[in-house]
Structure 1
Amino acid sequence: MVDGHQTFVIVGGGLAGAKAAETLRAEGFTGRVILIGDEGDQPYERPPLSKGYLLGKEERDGVFVHEPAWYAQADVELHLGQPVVAVDRAGKSVRLGDGTVLHYDKLLLATGAEPRRLDIPGTGLAGVHHLRRLAHADRLRQVLRTLGRENGRLVIAGAGWIGLEVAAAARGYGAEVTVIEPETTPLYQVIGPELGQIFTDLHQEHGVAFRFGARLSEITGQDGVVLAVRTDDGEEYPAHDVLAAIGAAPRTALAEAAGLALADRAHGGGIAVDASLRTSDPDVYAAGDVAAAHHPLLGSRIRVEHWANALNGGPAAARSMLGQDVSYDRVPYFFSDQYDLGLEYSGWAPAGSYDQVVLRGDAGKREFIAFWLKDRRVLAGMNVNVWDVTAPIQELIRSGEPVDPEALGDPSVPLTSLASPPAAPGE
């Protein structure tokens, strides 16, 4: 029974927003919970959009966070297909695109991120795609099927996680794939050049062509449809479709217009929040892709664009809104599946932050764990086709203790033995 003594409004119909609403009810909140999403679909999870659903291995209904009836059963008021166009902090209200004004006592901004756009001629042609929303995946899945049937060509701008996962899906359908990437290896900013060649080899073995050190400069077409792409080094590649996979930008326009503090670009942009996910306004919170949180464990502000951050950040924000003592210190985590390679990555080691990479296992067989170290301390670990090791990897990161790189790289030394500092003499 909703008593209406308080109203909590959640802006953003993704995983973070849906899990925040779920947590409010699970924690006993009896006020109004209003969840607003600018898409027509109920809240859904994004990983299947470039993985199982795009590959045709999962059904569309499997992407949704909750069963359709759950929202009514939980007394969560859904406003779908309706963007929030303004936040009035003084009046503690939000205004929707249709003019509806909703009061809030506490507000959660879980507005996510949006794909970065190619700023080149030809992006308005039919056949230029992005992948962020369910509608994008619906369309792209049909495109890949058609390309596979007709030996069509897909050009992907960007060799990050989305670019590589879509490349794998496209090859699964039989499409011809060329990836254009300005860096020297795939995933350069995430895993560095030391491991990039592993992913180059993986995709090349499955027929993907790479063009490193180049950027798209133009998409050419005829009668409104894509025919080819040109790169800044003067090369031309035939294409029937183009995917822009050049990253995502946090959706901060609402927060900025409302005068909330934003993080600087060095910390990923986004809405600046403290460890409790509270913004510069004590009644406004942020979670998920849009939040740049001060991370107690890492000692810095970071913005994480991954599923686990939305899954855990939404509930953390909800508890903070309820007045609970929250310190959001989850180790960043994500996963990826490409062909027969599966991986999990824990930690935070952007390019330039580490001084050593240690491998444990057989990289040639693609069965290994990679560790990124700084001053012999583990910043991040990635297990590739090696399973049930996330917990000890994260414990190594959390401990902050120096480790012996030689022991770290030795599969005969249990990871659990490295997570604890050595006993002092005489103990």
Structure 2
Amino acid sequence: MMQVHIFASLLHFKNFGMKRNLFKTLLAVFIISAFSSCEKDDEEVVAPVEETEYKFIRILVNDEVTKELSLIDPVKLSVESFQAQYPKAALYPTQAGRFGALVSTSNNLVQLFDTGFEGHGDHVDVKGTPKFGALIGDGNKPTHFKSKGDEIITFNDGDGTLSIAKEADFHVSGAKMKTVSAGNIAHHGAMTKFDNGSYAITVKDGSVAGTLPERVKIIDGTGKTLFESTVQTKGIHGNASDGKISLFGSSSGILAVEPTGKQHLIAHPSSFGTAWFGSIYEAKGAGKFIGYSASVGAYVIDPATDKVTPVIESTDIIQVKVDYAGNKLIALLHSGEVKVYDLKTNTVLKSGNIIPATSKDETQKPQIEATSKYLYVTQPKSGELLKIDIADFSKINKIKVSATPYRLTILGIESSESH
């Protein structure tokens, strides 16, 4: 309305022969006012960006006592319930993120759960509704689980075999994981798969008492030995691989195994004493390996230089986890504090208390996982899953799941782009 009045004045002054410079001055005022109004209008139509979880992320939580399986949509904060074959299974995601694996060692069973989310790089397709796959694994005490490309693998502690299956068979009625025998005896073992298709698998030679293996050899997909072990340890547990090299936790040092058969030990820091890494994780996004021991904390392992560098040194840790993208390390302490580390720079991004303190002698402790944006923590006593904003720990959503949540895993793809 203001612009109309000014323009009318301009015409009036011009018609009555006012000086030209006055006309120009008023015209300039009109133009500036018009631009200012346009900019204001543009500002008013810009909507604020809503901060939330990625659309195609799901959280899978199972129960310690019942068969109930909860699939959580962390954007809608909604829950779908399913019935697993058994309670208290270990939960894992497949590498592509579409499927979750439920590994029940004591019941000789592996089940697959399908989110229906199929990633295509720049977008995600939805293939049906969430449901169990038809394929099962019925190996002898399946315990150690890995996923590489379109393949899932379990090491079966009951007889030292591997079980393998391809994603194309997950919905084939009556399908079972294929057993691969590598000539092993029963032991608490593990395996990794290299990019060239071969496998590094633990071997029990009997030189150490107990169920832990002492060696690692390399086999092909039929179980044929390609390279025998060249390094003997005093016990192996925990491993990870980036497809080019595999690291195994060992009381003798960190065993580095290459697909060529080359093996060597990386020494622990001198301060470790008898401590060693019983868990090793790959941080894919950061391109690093993380070793963890409750006795010393979490450390970056560099197999190229054989260096072991501390990230967090503490004996108060409940769990350490690498986030879903493999860029951050999350450490949950018994005090209720969480520490978030940037693994590319090995620096603390954020720390603070998110839950009450947990006694070290608690039978069932809170479990934690993380995406790039949020922490997810089970509460075994209240039957809840906490969704906590990494940018602001005070922003917490409580989601009711089953009565006694046991384990959780993140599934899907960190994307909100559909086809």
- TM-score norm. by structure 2 comes to 0.27
Larger radius of gyration: 2
Higher normalized strand content (fraction of residues): 2
- TM-score norm. by structure 1 comes to 0.27
Higher normalized helix content (fraction of residues): 1
